[in-house]
């Protein structure tokens, strides 16, 4: 069994100021194509998808202590790489059958995009987080 990956879907970057980062990426030619809020144990977080051609960067601002942890980093870092899949359930089942280190107990729904999306993560050999994501059509 294998997971059918279509393309790199997005790269997720935690930021300390969503507005400041939006302005920065707009200078590079990116456009805001989706903005939403999400629940976190520390409160409401904010997310924005910035797109340039086929490249999508997910900028997200965590609430509370999680935001403070981002502020304390000396270097920025990429949080995850996301792959686009057609069928999140089939991809999740394949990942489990392949013995991959799946983080979630089932695909997770987020109210992003027009109809939402579902995702799950695996961890690679050095702890890198790889996300599989289906935008619901």
* Extended strands (E) in the chain: 7-14, 31-40, 43-52, 55-61, 80-84, 101-102, 108-110, 117-123, 129-135
At residue 127, the pLDDT reads: 79
At residue 82, the pLDDT reads: 93
Domains in the chain (CATH in brackets) are 7-135 (3.10.180.10)
Which of the residues in the chain have pLDDT under 70?
A: 75-76, 125-126
């Amino acid at each position: 069994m294998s997971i059918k990956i279509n393309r790199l879907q997005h790269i997720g970057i935690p930021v300390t100021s969503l507005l400041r980062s939006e302005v920065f990426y707009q200078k590079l030619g990116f456009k805001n194509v989706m903005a939403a809020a999400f629940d976190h144990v520390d409160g409401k977080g904010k997310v924005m998808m910035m797109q340039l051609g086929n490249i999508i960067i997910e900028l997200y601002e965590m609430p509370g202590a999680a935001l403070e942890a981002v502020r304390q980093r000396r270097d920025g870092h990429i949080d995850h790489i996301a792959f686009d899949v057609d069928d999140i359930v089939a991809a999740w089942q394949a990942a489990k059958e392949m013995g991959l280190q799946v983080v979630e107990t089932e695909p997770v729904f987020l109210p992003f995009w027009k109809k939402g999306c579902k995702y799950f993560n695996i961890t690679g050999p050095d702890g890198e987080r790889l996300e599989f994501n289906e935008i619901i059509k």
